[in-house]
Structure 1
């Protein structure tokens, strides 16, 4: 009888310890977002009741990359272990290598704090499960990386900055780099396992993203400044419930998009300033066979009250869109006069992508001069891939239901340029009060479009 009682006590103790370990002090807040489609409330983490952990208490030393890196990651582990916490980066410049998140952690940069990320590629090894231009692979770790995490945040008035000494050399795409691109294309096209997709070698030079949330939920970024990036700057990949607000993003290198939501859902981007060498926002959903396998659309994405100082487009959709993109709303955004911009909205795909695009809304946008036009839709955009590799499986992209309302620019080459395909025309494009003070060429350039309506 005593033996049975002892076993029962031990069993109940294990249950209690397990419950205590899993219990989180992080609460969730719901952010309600109005949109022209049914938009679910977004869950974001609230760390106000959580403990704080200064990296100094874990051994961080200004100017000492190794000690600071270890201190940050040890503090993250501790915050996760106790069920939730805020890791505090105090004022001053802190040199670091990669940062890997765990669930229930807020990385908080105090005013005057600068996290300066090393330019040494070896600091981002071992390779992690990541992506390159829509294909999954093992690559250098993003500078800040979260994999399968819940309830995570980056907040505060401080700055995240990438040293660019090496990455800017890697902007070039020599033959060896292109050969690695070809290899990844074939590996993905024939659904080879991830273990074979090792893309770190002496010549591939696949630059990592600055911040990647990979298969994560309940993500908040609020207040921080981000300067420079090796590749895409903020990359939510296969993630849900993402709020990015009050950010200042400056990155003028190659492929330096501001935010790339990819196969991600329920995303709000608001009150941000973007100054980019590429697109301010580029909405993606993977490339070709890889995305058809994952079968996850980018969906329910709202961008509002943002300012763009430079970029290729205010919002780009594609060309990596093979998983499908739907329910996108861009509202009350401004492109400053003097910005370098190609389009306000540019939807791009090609014969390899498949997927779909539908229910895209843009309203209440003001812009200065645009090098190309307000709306561009093109179905034969392949960039460097055009002559690099053949089409393995041809799938066209249906595009329909695009609405622009109250959109104005000062000077453009065209208002709309829509180039569909004869076998799959683009459908249902509605422009209302969309205009420019001066149009240098044709107002509308259209091929293979069904049901285009322009009301001014």
Structure 2
């Protein structure tokens, strides 16, 4: 199976990324394996048979031709490319039974056995999803499951408790009762040499594209519109050597969110997320352009966002628009541990931000604040954040940096950052050391050198 090495320029030592090359691989048409439009069962069986045949041949592209194809789960295998031809629509069922038996996956940074992701690959090498076609899941059931009734919250507490007690992952069975843990749309779990290219995605039950514990991942020219609850665009988690480029994001949550696991489970896996480059992407809608955390207990380092732009008007593509809060948002809490270091953002523009160009918060717990107490207190070391050449029309602030008194944030530098209109306090810095801020923030903004510094030192 041929692979190509892509060289990626970055402000850190970025290894070449291995990309599988299916241009000369044999093609396997799903219609030749019995797929029929409008028939979920025959199409699901045909896709599975075509994937097995492509794998047995040594490499191959499984072709989904033009038309609307109903499907249950798709499990990829090594040396297989799922190719959606122009005009092809994969419409996934919202029947939970179609995603059983459970597979090894995760829920917000904790490993478990849950409903299969709609497209899933586990421990695969040279695996791809390509083509100009579209993935369009039915969402009716998943929208109901996105509510947070007590039984669902009880299930999250039970899963956290299992991780705390180091219960084997195989015994963390969550696809039972009314736990209602929604599946990911696409998850690559423990894979090498992953390619996702040119596809369009319209809707997702949960996180949209989730490379977990992967190495050498390329995601390019992908268009995502997913406005449901927890609908991040791409969530590289405990993955290394990742390139995300030329994509369009229209999200109900973060566009890109880099993660490395939650608390005890991530300490057990001890695998940082490292060497992630996001370049030349456009965001129409979403909470943050780049989020780091809050699941970051395995550590995050060497991240670069370059030549990316929030171009939306705050309305998104439909009536589920959410305001973009921050361009770069680092979030953690006293339970996470881990570290964040060497994060860069450059050549970014935006229209209106409800938050800041840079926000760092160390007390982000969401619903977990009341769900359970802090079992183990481990602070997150945060250092070497760089933001440069940013132009924003309007924002609440330029930078809000809130560290822990016991472990201040270190070495933050903003340069050539311009916000035309600042509606709140230009900068707030608490518990940070060696912070460099821009001398001015825009036509009506107060000088950043007059910012609110608490328990901090600037240079």
Describe how 1:32-71 pairs up with structure 2 within 5 A: 32-71=7-46
Q: Report the Cα distance in structure 1 between the residues aligned to 2:169 and 2:10, rounded to whole angstroms.
A: 37
SS of structure 2 residue aligned to 1:406: strand
Q: Which residue of 1 aligns with 2:276?
A: 301
Deviation (angstroms), 1:195: 2.4
> Among 346, 349, 360, which residue is 2:343 paired with?
360
Deviation by residue 1:269-294 (Cα, 9 ceiling, x = unmatched): 00000000000000000000100010
Deviation by residue 1:382-425 (Cα, 9 ceiling, x = unmatched): 00100101111110000000000101111111000001011100
Moved segments of 4+, more than 2 Å:
none
- Indicate whether 1:437 and 2:420 are aligned: yes
Q: Which residue of 2 aligns with 1:348?
A: 331
> Among 238, 248, 256, which residue is 1:263 paired with?
238
- Indicate whether 1:414 and 2:389 are aligned: no
Q: Report the Cα distance in structure 1 between the residues aligned to 2:193 and 2:298, rounded to whole angstroms.
A: 22
> Among 181, 192, 195, which residue is 2:170 paired with?
195
SS of structure 1 residue aligned to 2:44: helix
Q: Report the Cα distance in structure 2 between the residues aligned to 1:142 and 1:28, rounded to whole angstroms.
A: 26
- Indicate whether 1:424 and 2:416 are aligned: no
**TM-score normalised by structure 2 residue count:** 0.93
Q: Report the Cα distance in structure 1 between the residues aligned to 2:254 and 2:100, rounded to whole angstroms.
A: 28
SS of structure 2 residue aligned to 1:386: helix
SS of structure 1 residue aligned to 2:437: strand
CA RMSD of aligned residues (A): 0.6
Deviation (angstroms), 1:337: 4.2
The answer to whether the 8 Å contact 2:283/2:312 transfers is: no
Question: Gaps (5+ residues) in structure 1?
Answer: 1-25
Q: Report the Cα distance in structure 1 between the residues aligned to 2:294 and 2:147, rounded to whole angstroms.
A: 21
Question: Gaps (5+ residues) in structure 2?
Answer: 315-322, 440-459
SS of structure 1 residue aligned to 2:308: strand
Q: Report the Cα distance in structure 1 between the residues aligned to 2:294 and 2:165, rounded to whole angstroms.
A: 20
Number of residues paired by the alignment? Answer: 431
Q: Report the Cα distance in structure 1 between the residues aligned to 2:255 and 2:54, rounded to whole angstroms.
A: 33
Q: Which residue of 2 aligns with 1:450?
A: 433
SS of structure 2 residue aligned to 1:73: helix
> Among 75, 81, 103, which residue is 1:128 paired with?
103
> Among 342, 355, 358, which residue is 1:375 paired with?
358
Q: Which residue of 1 aligns with 2:248?
A: 273
SS of structure 2 residue aligned to 1:115: strand
SS of structure 1 residue aligned to 2:31: helix
> Among 170, 175, 186, which residue is 2:161 paired with?
186
Q: Which residue of 2 aligns with 1:10?
A: none
Q: Which residue of 1 aligns with 2:368?
A: 385
Q: Which residue of 1 aligns with 2:454?
A: none
**TM-score normalised by structure 1 residue count:** 0.94
Q: Report the Cα distance in structure 2 between the residues aligned to 1:282 and 1:455, rounded to whole angstroms.
A: 26
Q: Report the Cα distance in structure 2 between the residues aligned to 1:373 and 1:38, rounded to whole angstroms.
A: 29
Q: Which residue of 1 aligns with 2:56?
A: 81
SS of structure 1 residue aligned to 2:307: strand
Q: Report the Cα distance in structure 2 between the residues aligned to 1:200 and 1:116, rounded to whole angstroms.
A: 22
Q: Report the Cα distance in structure 2 between the residues aligned to 1:452 and 1:77, rounded to whole angstroms.
A: 55
The answer to whether the 8 Å contact 2:104/2:170 transfers is: no
Q: Which residue of 2 aligns with 1:6?
A: none
Deviation (angstroms), 1:202: 2.0
Deviation (angstroms), 1:435: 1.8
Q: Which residue of 1 aligns with 2:318?
A: none
Deviation (angstroms), 1:196: 2.0
Q: Which residue of 2 aligns with 1:176?
A: 151
The answer to whether the 8 Å contact 2:285/2:312 transfers is: no
SS of structure 2 residue aligned to 1:368: strand
> Among 136, 145, 164, which residue is 2:139 paired with?
164
Q: Report the Cα distance in structure 2 between the residues aligned to 1:383 and 1:154, rounded to whole angstroms.
A: 34
Of 100-109 and 191-200, more deviation after overlay is shown by 191-200
Deviation by residue 1:310-344 (Cα, 9 ceiling, x = unmatched): 00000000000000000000000010141330000
- Indicate whether 1:287 and 2:262 are aligned: yes
Deviation (angstroms), 1:442: 0.8
Q: Report the Cα distance in structure 2 between the residues aligned to 1:162 and 1:428, rounded to whole angstroms.
A: 44
Deviation (angstroms), 1:454: 1.8
SS of structure 2 residue aligned to 1:166: helix
